[in-house]
Amino acid sequence: MIQADFQLQRGNFSLDVALRLPSSGVTALFGRSGSGKTTLLRCMAGLEYQPGGRMVFQGEVWQNSKGFRPVHQRPLGYVFQEASLFPHLRVINNLLYGYQRIPATQQQLQPDQVIELLGISELLQRYPDQLSGGQRQRVAIGRALLTSPQLLLMDEPMASLDATSKAEILPFLERLRDELDIPIVYVSHAIEEVTRLADHLVLLDHGQVVAQGDLQQLLTDPNLPFSQSETASSVLQARVVNADVGDGLSELQLEHQSMLISRCGLQKGQATRVRILARDVVLALTPPDDISLLNCLETQVLDIQPDAGLNPNPSQVLVRLQLGQQTLLARISKRSAERMALKENQGVYALIKGVAVA
């Protein structure tokens, strides 16, 4: 477990958090600009000091009222928004910079492994100014990993990248999450990134924790802004049954039901997650058989919520659906909900286009 208790004042801004975070998987610190995400991450790293803070990592005290370990004495890697590589060193020497400075007995990760994981073997002899933004950031992540950190802190590592570079780097971040046993705390204000990567979510606002918990639960909580936004979505855990059923489609098993999606690079047996926008889900009382939709999932109505949020739309409702152990969101018109006479516990079919699943 990671314990992170901090109170800190910077100008008009005050941070006041007392967090208990899992010491595995990816925890996203999420919130709008100025909510205190970076300040909290810097506190965790020991880059900000304020008396009274407390940081305990897997039983090891990094700071409390009696002492403060400076950042270089904490076994962590830190990735900044902009990759800060040494411009005069080739990629390989940037990578080896931290690796060569830790004792051999602590070198848990080896250069070859990290180079393969991040797909940077073609870049080793280049200088940083010969790399794209996404490549630079992958090298920066590699350099942080090669210090064999016990905790990886990432401050919006994709903030300065264009959409193409983001799409290029995300699969590598997923591999990092899935293949290395290093907890990651990941700052972001982009919900698409968070839904792809995070297991646990901390929602910050004005330096305070508004909510924290399991990603799936928070996304579908009717009282939180996620389910109330235009881009309300659910993230569902699934397993790949067949990576290629033809026509570029893959078959997933999701709570004992089958789902077809169009995504490349999946492998049979692999666990994966799908993100489905609430507005992409259509509901039906009987399973239709003569329309183009690929996916028809049996669900049960949990509840029906009026549209909420900053600009509520009275013509819409949010239907929360039970799908095995998971929750699926559907945003439909109030008129449809009334016409179908939807009510709690009712069985209903959720129809989802294969191409609508991210």
Ligand X SMILES: Nc1ncnc2c1ncn2[C@@H]1O[C@H](COP(=O)(O)OP(=O)(O)OP(=O)(O)O)[C@@H](O)[C@H]1O
Residue 33 beta carbon to ligand X: minimum distance, rounded to whole angstroms:
3
Closest separation between CB of residue 7 and ligand X, Å? 14
Of 195 and 272, which has the nearer Cβ to ligand X?
195
Let me know how long the chain is. 358
Least distance (Å) between residue 155 CB and ligand X:
8
By beta-carbon proximity to ligand X, the closer residue of 37 and 196 is: 37
**DSSP label at residue 100:** T
Of the candidates 248, 227, 222, 252, the residue with the CA atom closest to the CA atom of residue 240: 252
CA distance linking residue 14 with residue 139, whole number of Å: 34
Report the residue number, 39 or 135, with the smaller CB distance to ligand X. Answer: 39
Give me 145's structure tokens: 């990993």
Closest to ligand X by CB, 5 vs 298, is 5
User: How open is the CA angle 205-210-211, to the nearest 5 degrees?
Assistant: 135
- Nearer to ligand X among residue 161 and residue 318 (C-beta): 161
At 91, which amino acid appears? Answer: V
Please state the closest distance from residue 130 (CB atom) to ligand X, in A: 28
How many angstroms separate the CA atoms of 125 and 119, rounded?
14
Alpha helices in the chain (DSSP H): 37-45, 91-99, 111-118, 133-145, 163-179, 191-197, 215-219, 225-228, 334-339
Residue with Cβ nearer ligand X (47 or 170): 47
Residues 347 and 150: their CA atoms lie apart, in Å, by 46
* Between 40 and 330, CB nearer to ligand X: 40
- Distance (Å, rounded) from C-alpha 115 to C-alpha 118? 5
Binding site for ligand X (CB under 6 A): 10-11, 13, 31, 33-39, 189
Amino acid at 139: V
- Provide, rounded to whole angstroms, the least separation between the CB of residue 96 and ligand X: 30
Residue whose Cβ sits closest to ligand X: 11
Structure token pair of residue 237: 């855990």
Give least dist CB 116 to ligand X, A.
Answer: 32
- Shortest distance in whole angstroms from residue 352 CB to ligand X: 32
